[in-house]
Amino acid sequence: MTSELVRLQPQALQLDQNPAAVYLAGLGSEVSRRTMLGALQVIAGLLSGGRTDWAGIDWASLRFQHVAAIRAKLADTYSAATANKMLSALRGVLKAAYQLGQLPAEEYHRAADIDGVRGDTVLAGRGLAKGELAALMAACEHDESPAGIRDAAIVALAYTGGLRRSEIAALTLASYDPDTGRLLVHGKRNKYRYVYLVNGAAAAMDDWLTVRGSEPGALFLAINKGGHIRPGVGITSQAILNLCQKRGAQAGLQSFSPHDLRRTFISDLLGAGVDIATVAKLAGHASVQTTARYDRRPEDAKRQAVELLHIPYHRRKPVIQDKTRE
């Protein structure tokens, strides 16, 4: 994509007049701002041929043909989910430009009315079997250090609460009510929801709180290389990914991500007969259609159906070649 698609600003706009800055400032969480800033940086690179960043683009000059060209490039380069996230950021900037009076209404609606990128609806990742979950928890429990106790609580929460790792990292001590097991989660798009910890998950959380102490701040704290809790320093989203990889390796599991625990949470609840609307609320999905994508029951049913068929075939015994005759 050439830089001629959009002219660069001759000088940087004030932040309160830059539609990209206004859009980013209006997002509900720091995680969302970082994610969408990264998306706008990619788009700015496409528009300018790598000559400037998001702050140097005259976003209000974009028209339908520019957005269509960006969409085509993103579709060729990224997965459908990633491309659509970037297009969502672009639509947000266009809307901000319109609301600031920089983009005429007709041009805004034309440019923003671009189709999303359609891709494979099969979700990446995998679900964990009951035996794998048990092995994963056992790997945490065998480590009697603060890290083992903390990691057991995080794994239990990721599975029984279905939380995203960014949501786990954002939890505070005040988010959890140990008397009721109720946890207030700050999710995507600045939306809140309640999830509930029961039985083993509640017990794992209680053990962690005993070790953690009652100081206000992040619910899950960082632990240094010496195995000591770092007071006042919350765990990061990356550290949650790292601990899942570490505990998974200790348990002898195939590679999985924290999001696979969320995927298993949703699929297991649906498989247990919980109605999809309730599961969507617990997962923090705005649409039950999103929740349905995690439902592996149709695939299980298809496999069970095929297993009713039988083809009469017997494996041949391997033929061992006599090399002495060669």
Q: How many CB atoms lie within 10 A of CB 194?
A: 14
Is 182 designated active site? no
With b for 16 or more beta-carbon neighbours within 10 A and e for fewer, the 225-236 pattern comes to eeeebeeeebbe
Catalytic one of 165, 212, 294, 296:
294
Q: Is 262 a catalytic site residue? A: yes
Measured CA to CA, the distance from residue 152 to residue 203 in angstroms comes to 10
Q: How far apart are CA 77 and CA 201, in angstroms?
A: 41
Q: Choose the catalytic residue: 71, 262, 263, 296.
A: 262
| Candidate list 188, 193, 246, 281, residue with the active-site label | 188
Q: Which of 247, 259, 263, 296 is catalytic?
A: 259
Whether 95 is catalytic: no
Lookup: tokens for 68: 């269509």
Q: Which of 164, 165, 212, 296 is catalytic?
A: 164
**What DSSP string runs through 158-195?**
HHHT---HHHHHH-BGGGEETTTTEEEEE-GGG-EEEE
* Among candidate residues 129, 166, 171, the one with its CA nearest the CA of residue 261: 129
Q: Do 112 and 149 form a contact (C-beta atoms < 8 A)?
A: no
For 49, how many CA atoms within 13 A lie in the half-sphere containing its CB? 8
- 118 catalytic residue (yes or no): no
Greatest Cα pair distance, the chain, in angstroms, is 89
User: 59 near 97, Cβ under 8 Å?
Assistant: yes
Q: Which residues are catalytic?
A: 164, 188, 259, 262, 285, 294
